[in-house]
């Protein structure tokens, strides 16, 4: 894994260019599959960005994703697309700062409990607002965005996440976060402002998730709170990131690919037993692969190399 930097960049650029060309060669079914793959790869990478180094388990992916989708449902017809995306990202960032400041100063448990119900909380607030103020539940999304556009936008977002993650890992912030993950008390004694470091990373991660939700919104023509804030997204993202290995930047995306394909296959064929299968996969990952595929690869390669 010690490729020289220019080679690494050249390889990555070729890979991204290859992915960008995909929509020209495939039919609608595979394009839709590609969009799902990119969506989960982006979400899982964003999840790993915060939860990997800090080891805080976030169950709030669906909350941010849903807020992004809903922003498009509300503003998509009135404002130009770029501005809508900007606003969605801004809302996600503000929300993450509020949540982070409220819970990240306390111990990790508070964060888990809070994020556990965050999607449900926001869903209830949106329902309440729609029923009492606008008096309609559910909105139509009419924007001029094709499937190809969605695919390329997700790809761009994915490239951005990887770049951000790569830069963060090399910055003072990334170093600070790794110390926090090892031992928060030590980090505090080193003079690291742990709250600011954690909130900053949560904000970056949440903004990406919100943007992913906004980009995906035009895929549904009709949105209602139970679709946008589907808690299943949070759960799936956690398993994907864990399967791949959340402590590496490229780990979560590695887990996202096989599981997206598997879930796509299973949800169509076994809709009733789908939840059981997700549960079993979850347990298998936790027990058999505690460090994910990335950790397993690292162990295998280090064993082969003479010490």
What residue ranges bind other proteins (CB under 8 A)? Answer: 55, 57, 102-103, 105-110, 112-114, 116-117, 120-121, 124-125, 127-128, 131-132, 185, 231, 235, 238, 242, 272-283, 285-287, 290
**Minimum CB distance to other proteins, residue 188 (Å):** 12
Of 108, 97, 6, give the one whose Cα is nearest residue 57. 108
**Minimum CB distance to other proteins, residue 42 (Å):** 22
Q: Are 154 and 253 in contact (CB under 8 A)?
A: no
**Minimum CB distance to other proteins, residue 117 (Å):** 4
Q: For other proteins, give the closer residue by CB, 3 or 106.
A: 106
**Minimum CB distance to other proteins, residue 15 (Å):** 31
Q: For other proteins, give the closer residue by CB, 83 or 137.
A: 137
Q: For other proteins, give the closer residue by CB, 185 or 302.
A: 185
Q: How far apart are alpha carbons 187 and 164 in whole angstroms?
A: 23
**Minimum CB distance to other proteins, residue 81 (Å):** 32
Q: For other proteins, give the closer residue by CB, 105 or 299.
A: 105
**Minimum CB distance to other proteins, residue 92 (Å):** 19
**Minimum CB distance to other proteins, residue 128 (Å):** 4
* The pair of three-digit structure tokens given for residue 170, joined into one six-digit string: 């090399």
Q: For other proteins, give the closer residue by CB, 125 or 167.
A: 125
Of 34, 41, 64, 40, give the one whose Cα is nearest residue 231. 64
* The pair of three-digit structure tokens given for residue 281, joined into one six-digit string: 């996969």
Other Cβ atoms less than 10 A from the Cβ of 274: the count is: 15
257: burial class by Cβ within 10 Å (0-12, 13-18, 19+)? Answer: middle
Question: Residues with Cβ < 8 Å from 240, sequence gap 6 or more?
Answer: 40, 44, 252, 255, 256, 259, 260
Q: How far apart are alpha carbons 111 and 106 in whole angstroms?
A: 8
Q: For other proteins, give the closer residue by CB, 8 or 286.
A: 286
Q: Are 139 and 223 in contact (CB under 8 A)?
A: yes
Q: Are 39 and 233 in contact (CB under 8 A)?
A: no
Place of tokens 């709250």: 195
**Minimum CB distance to other proteins, residue 103 (Å):** 8
Q: For other proteins, give the closer residue by CB, 23 or 251.
A: 251
Q: For other proteins, give the closer residue by CB, 149 or 184.
A: 184
DSSP secondary structure, 101-142, as one string: HHHTTS-HHHHHHHHHHHHHHHHHHHHHHIIIII--S-EE--
């Amino acid at each position: 894994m010690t490729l020289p930097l220019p080679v690494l960049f050249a390889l990555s650029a070729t890979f991204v260019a290859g992915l960008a060309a995909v929509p020209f060669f495939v039919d609608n079914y595979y394009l839709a599959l590609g969009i799902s793959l990119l969506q989960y790869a982006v979400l899982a990478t964003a999840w790993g960005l915060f939860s990997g180094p800090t080891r805080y388990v976030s169950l709030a992916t669906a909350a941010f994703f849903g807020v992004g989708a809903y922003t498009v449902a509300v503003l998509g017809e009135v404002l130009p697309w770029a501005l809508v995306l900007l606003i969605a990202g801004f809302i996600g960032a503000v929300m993450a700062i509020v949540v982070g400041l409220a819970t990240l100063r306390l111990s990790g448990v508070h964060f888990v409990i809070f994020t556990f119900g965050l999607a449900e909380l926001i869903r209830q607030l949106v329902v309440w607002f729609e029923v009492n103020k606008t008096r309609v539940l559910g909105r139509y999304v009419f924007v001029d965005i094709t499937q190809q556009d969605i695919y390329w936008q997700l790809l761009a977002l994915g490239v951005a996440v990887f770049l951000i993650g790569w830069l963060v890992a090399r910055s003072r912030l990334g170093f600070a976060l790794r110390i926090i993950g090892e031992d928060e008390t030590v980090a505090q004694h080193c003079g690291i402002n742990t709250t600011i470091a954690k909130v900053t990373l949560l904000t970056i991660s949440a903004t990406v998730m919100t943007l992913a939700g906004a980009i995906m919104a035009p895929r549904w023509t009709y949105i209602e709170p139970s679709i946008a804030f589907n808690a299943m997204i949070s759960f799936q993202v956690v398993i994907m990131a864990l399967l791949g290995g959340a402590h590496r930047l490229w780990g979560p995306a590695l887990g996202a690919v096989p599981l997206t394909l598997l879930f796509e296959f299973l949800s169509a064929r076994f809709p009733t037993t789908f939840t059981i299968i997700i549960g079993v996969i979850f347990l298998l990952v936790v027990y058999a692969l505690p460090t994910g595929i990335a950790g397993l690869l690292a162990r295998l390669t280090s064993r082969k190399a003479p010490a």
